[in-house]
């Protein structure tokens, strides 16, 4: 429990797993705000510290907008309170120091050295608050990479992701979302929870450091391991998989169709459904290793067969047979699918004046599920109550 308690504790979160945990959130943009939002969904009291006038950079990142607010900001800031503090002002800087003294967890994602200028770095926070869990997120670490700007697109490029993403050799493409930031936010949340567990057992806080480049290298999983273990440097393969076939996009009569066959049993079932059982017996395609070695010949033959029906038809035919496949949905189609499957992909938050339909937290907990009790805050919406609490 934090030394000072949280401001105006919300009874609705009292039965959530992180109830009573106070998070001082000095972060902005995506990676760290995503992490602190996940903690807030699970009951943590997150106080988002923003700069005067503009606040979090993403408040200006639009369109699109909802309620005249950038949906980018709204996507990662629900269940938080916003306080405006000018860290160049001595009174506000003192309030920030008091906030971190009371906090269980501190998040920051400034360039290395920025927090130290304001007396808010881990070493000084720890002096006043020995049990603090202090999470620092950077682009390339706090050492030799400290001066490099940590933008997701840049990390996708220099971190190798774009070298394996795109339609073909020499045509690198970024992912359609800031996936490195999201990976980093998840790693940060896991690191903080682990550090809190350690503190619960020992009373000791600690520094949690996460960076975008290391998170991406970890997230490259099999592609990275192919290099570290076997020296293999993968290249762009379009929609194909380096180790599995058929595992790519085909063209049905009405548009693209994804087929992701992961084993020989699935391939045999696919060939029977295509009325081409001889393919499964062909020595070029009998095993997955054979199919990968002859992927072009296989793709040509399957492409001819898939062109006979629509993507929806193939989905309806092949899915009951255990063959993974499906159309390439847009985001509206993806939400429609999740709703049909009963996954509850949306959650309502806000009131009649400012209703919001947000993306649901994907973590399912049978006893303490995530709760949506507060819409993303307007800039400085809670400054008065939090300043009064810190000054008391």
Mean pLDDT value of segment 239-251: 94
pLDDT band at 146; cut points 50, 70, 90? confident
pLDDT at 10: 39
- Mean pLDDT (whole number) for 306-317: 94
Q: Using 50, 70 and 90 to split pLDDT, how confident is the model at 232?
A: very high
Tens digit of each residue's pLDDT (9 = 90 or more) over 97-107: 999 999 999 99
Binned at pLDDT 50, 70 and 90, residue 13 comes out as low
Pairing of strands 65-66, 69-70: antiparallel
Residue 5 has pLDDT above 80, yes or no: no
Q: Is the pLDDT of residue 140 over 60?
A: yes
Query: What does the pLDDT read at residue 353?
Result: 87
11-219+351-391 CATH: 3.40.50.10540
* Residue indicated by tokens 């996507």: 75
Mean pLDDT of 245-250: 96
Helices marked H in the chain:
31-41, 71-74, 90-102, 114-117, 122-128, 152-158, 179-202, 212-219, 221-230, 264-273, 278-281, 288-293, 295-306, 311-318, 331-340, 383-391
Determine the average pLDDT of the residues in 220-243. 93
Residue 131 has pLDDT above 70, yes or no: yes
pLDDT band at 14 (very low <50, low <70, confident <90, very high): low
C-alpha–C-alpha distance, residues 299 and 293, integer Å: 12
Residue ranges of domains in the chain: 11-219+351-391, 247-339
**pLDDT(82) > 90:** yes
Residue 48 to residue 83: CA distance in whole angstroms: 6
pLDDT at 9: 43
pLDDT of 1: 33
pLDDT digits (tens, 9 = 90+) for 252-308: 999 999 999 999 999 999 999 999 999 999 999 999 999 999 999 999 999 999 999
Closest C-alpha to 103, from 28, 166, 26: 26
Q: Which two tokens stand for residue 59?
A: 């408040």
User: What confidence score (pLDDT) does residue 260 get?
Assistant: 96
Pairing verdict, β 45-50 and 22-25:
parallel
pTM of the model: 0.91
Per-residue pLDDT tens digits for 29-73: 999 999 999 999 999 999 999 999 999 999 999 999 999 999 999
Q: What average pLDDT does this structure show over 124-141?
A: 96
Whether the predicted pLDDT of 6 surpasses 60: no
Q: With 0-12 CB in 10 A as exposed, 13-18 as middle and 19+ as buried, what is 351? A: exposed
pLDDT in tens, 327-373: 999 999 999 999 999 999 999 998 888 999 999 999 999 999 999 99
Q: Which CATH architecture has domain 247-339?
A: 2-Layer Sandwich (3.30)
Mean predicted confidence (pLDDT) in 388-392: 93
pLDDT, tens digit, 9 for 90 and up, residues 161-219: 999 999 989 999 999 999 999 999 999 999 999 999 999 999 999 999 999 999 999 99
Which DSSP state fits 14? T
Residue numbers annotated as active site: 181
Q: How far is Cα of residue 335 from the mean position of the Cα atoms in its chain? A: 17
Confidence of residue 149 (pLDDT cuts 50, 70, 90): confident
């Amino acid at each position: 429990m934090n030394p000072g308690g949280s401001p105006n504790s919300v009874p609705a979160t009292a039965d959530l797993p992180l109830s009573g945990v106070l998070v001082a959130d000095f972060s902005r943009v995506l990676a760290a705000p995503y992490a602190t939002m996940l903690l807030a969904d699970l009951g943590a009291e997150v106080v988002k510290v923003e700069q005067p006038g503009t606040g979090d950079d993403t408040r200006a990142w639009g369109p699109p907008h909802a309620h005249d607010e950038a949906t980018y900001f709204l996507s990662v800031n629900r269940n938080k309170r916003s306080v405006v503090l000018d860290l160049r002002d001595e009174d506000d800087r003192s309030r920030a120091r008091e906030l971190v003294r009371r906090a269980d967890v501190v998040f920051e994602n400034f360039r290395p050295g920025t927090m130290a200028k304001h007396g808010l770095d881990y070493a000084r926070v720890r002096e006043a608050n020995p049990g603090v869990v202090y999470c620092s997120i950077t682009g390339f670490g706090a050492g030799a990479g400290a001066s490099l700007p940590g933008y997701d697109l840049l990390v996708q490029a220099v971190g190798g992701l774009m070298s394996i993403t795109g339609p073909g050799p020499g045509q690198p493409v970024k992912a359609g979302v800031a996936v490195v930031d999201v990976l980093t936010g998840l790693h940060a949340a896991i690191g903080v929870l682990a550090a809190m567990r350690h503190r619960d057992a020992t009373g000791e806080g600690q520094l949690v450091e996460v960076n975008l480049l290391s998170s991406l290298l970890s997230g490259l999983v099999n592609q990275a391991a192919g290099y570290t273990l076997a020296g293999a440097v993968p290249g762009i393969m379009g929609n194909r998989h380096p180790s599995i076939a058929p595992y790519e996009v085909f063209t049905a009569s009405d548009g693209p169709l994804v087929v992701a066959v992961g084993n020989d049993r699935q391939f045999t079932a696919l060939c029977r459904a295509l009325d081409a059982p001889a393919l499964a017996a062909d020595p070029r395609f009998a095993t997955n290793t054979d199919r990968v070695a002859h992927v072009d010949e296989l793709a040509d033959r399957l492409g001819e067969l898939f062109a006979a029906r629509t993507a929806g038809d193939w989905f309806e035919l092949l899915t009951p047979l255990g063959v993974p496949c499906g159309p390439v949905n847009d985001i509206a189609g993806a939400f429609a699918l999740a709703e049909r499957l009963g996954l509850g992909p949306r959650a309502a938050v806000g009131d009649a004046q400012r209703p919001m339909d947000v993306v649901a937290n994907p973590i399912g907990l049978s006893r303490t599920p995530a709760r949506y009790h507060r819409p993303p805050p307007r800039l400085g919406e809670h400054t008065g109550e939090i300043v009064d609490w810190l000054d008391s």
